[in-house]
Amino acid sequence: MASFPQIRLRRLRRTEALRSMVRENHIEVRDLIYPIFVVEGKGINEEIVSMPDVFRYSPDNLQPVVEEVAKLKIPAIILFGIPKNKDEFGSSGYDPNGVIQHAIRIIKKTVPELVVITDVCLCEYTSHGHCGVIDHQEVDNDQTLPLLSRMALSHVEAGADMVAPSDMMDGRVKAIRESLDNKGFNHIPIMSYAAKYSSAFYGPFRDAAESTPQFGDRRAYQMDPPNAREALLEVEQDIAEGADIVMVKPAMAYMDIIRRVRDNFNQPIAAYNVSGEYSMVKAAAERGWIDEKRVVLETLTAMKRAGADMILTYHAKDVAKWLKQL
Ligand code: PBG
């Protein structure tokens, strides 16, 4: 291979026009999925303290935000529900008249073209805040599966376009796939939170969704952060069970996992730029320590470079606006 002075890699960096001609990766509006928190009640529109510019909306207040998202050409949203009533089995999560089911019907009526994905997990609906049924102080895998299936089915019956199980029970993709197929919903895709780590970066989300476990933590079902090979096993299992899209979560501290999944599988990959990643950037930007727009675009482009096809991010609306100005 030739070398300096024949090779001067700086030649193609001289101007923006040249740089853009050789740019390898891009973040685009069509890559984005915007998370929305829906709280049961009426007339609610409250900012989440630990997540600046992110709100909890009651179903009757969703119209402006989903219209804005659709107008910005963001293709999809993912919904999280905060119910009034919680119990041991998270039954408000699969109530056909529950907060999410209600929200889906309103959104599909308002902006039918917007892809509505729903988070499927019990933690926001259980009194103990765990992602499954508790038996002898532990989350029981197999007792949880039928409840997750019921929840997924109720979302799809209300009009959801895609379901996204985030509970990390073994076998949940298979259970959900079977129950959707049995009811004639074999065309509805599953985006599985396949490699979901037990992460400290979910802190602000748990404030937002009121889903902090009342005892213990999630380490007995979510993945141990030091593990990478295990992520490939999780992804392999979920694909075998019928996952259409696989997710890596969180994203920033797990770029190597996104890359390894990309190199080993051909399914589309979603990266979840989680609440703690969002709030760190917002806090530093508020203090004037970093340039928010540049940091966000750099980070999300890095997720694409690592191999993600789509990104769930609370920055989605801002990114869509910034990309329009570029
Ligand atoms: C529900 C769920 C969580 C997140 C998405 N779905 C929280 C958790 O597992 O504790 C986190 C999202 C974020 O931090 O932005 N199980």
> What pLDDT does residue 96 have?
97
pLDDT attached to residue 69: 98
**Spatial contact of 32 and 75, defined as CB atoms under 8 Å apart:** yes
Instruction: Tell me the HSE value of 248 on the side-chain side, using a 13 A CA sphere.
Output: 32
Ligand 1, atom 10, lies closest to the CA of: 202
Provide the 8-state DSSP code for 60.
G
According to DSSP, the residues that pair with 81 across neighbouring strands are 38
* Tokens, residue 189: 């895709």
How many C-beta atoms surround the C-beta of residue 25 within 10 A?
11
Q: Which domains does the chain have, with CATH numbers?
A: 26-325 (3.20.20.70)
Q: Would you say 304 and 55 are in contact if contact means Cβ atoms under 8 Å apart?
A: no
**What is the secondary structure of 137-155 as a DSSP string?**
TEEEHHHHHHHHHHHHHHH
Euclidean distance between CA atoms 174 and 177, whole angstroms: 5
* Catalytic residue annotation: 196, 249
Q: Which residues contact 34 (CB under 8 A, 6 or more apart)?
A: 69, 74, 76, 77, 78, 312, 313, 314, 316, 317
Peptide bond into 250 cis (omega under 30): yes
Closest listed residue to residue 51, CA positions, set 35, 72, 33: 35
Contact criterion met (CB below 8 Å) for 74 and 34: yes
Which amino acid belongs to residue 4?
F
**Orientation of helix 292-306 relative to helix 275-286, angle to 10°:** 150
According to the model, what pLDDT value does residue 326 have? 76
Residue 65 in contact with ligand 1 by CB distance below 6 A: no
* Residue to mutate, 211, 212, 315, ligand 1, most ligand atoms under 8 Å from C-beta: 211
pLDDT score for 74 = 98
pLDDT one-digit tens code per residue, 227-267: 999 999 999 999 999 999 999 999 999 999 999 999 999 99
pLDDT 10s digits, 184-198: 999 999 999 999 999
Residue 181 makes CB contacts below 8 A (sequence gap 6+) with none
**What pLDDT, in 10s, does the model give residues 134-144?**
999 999 999 99
pLDDT given at position 196: 98
Give the residue from 89, 42, 82, 32 showing the smallest Cα distance to 62. Answer: 42
Nearest residue (by CA) to ligand 1, atom 14, is 202
Instruction: Compute the residue count for the chain.
Output: 326
Q: 38-56 burial by CB neighbour count: b if 16+ within 10 A, else e?
A: bbbbeebeeebebbeebbb
Distance from the CA of 79 to the center of ligand 1, in angstroms?
A: 11
How many angstroms is it from 304 CA to the middle of ligand 1?
Answer: 21
What's the token pair of residue 117?
A: 């994905």
Rounded to the nearest angstrom, the distance between the alpha carbon of 202 and the centre of ligand 1 is 6
Which residue numbers in the chain have pLDDT < 50? none
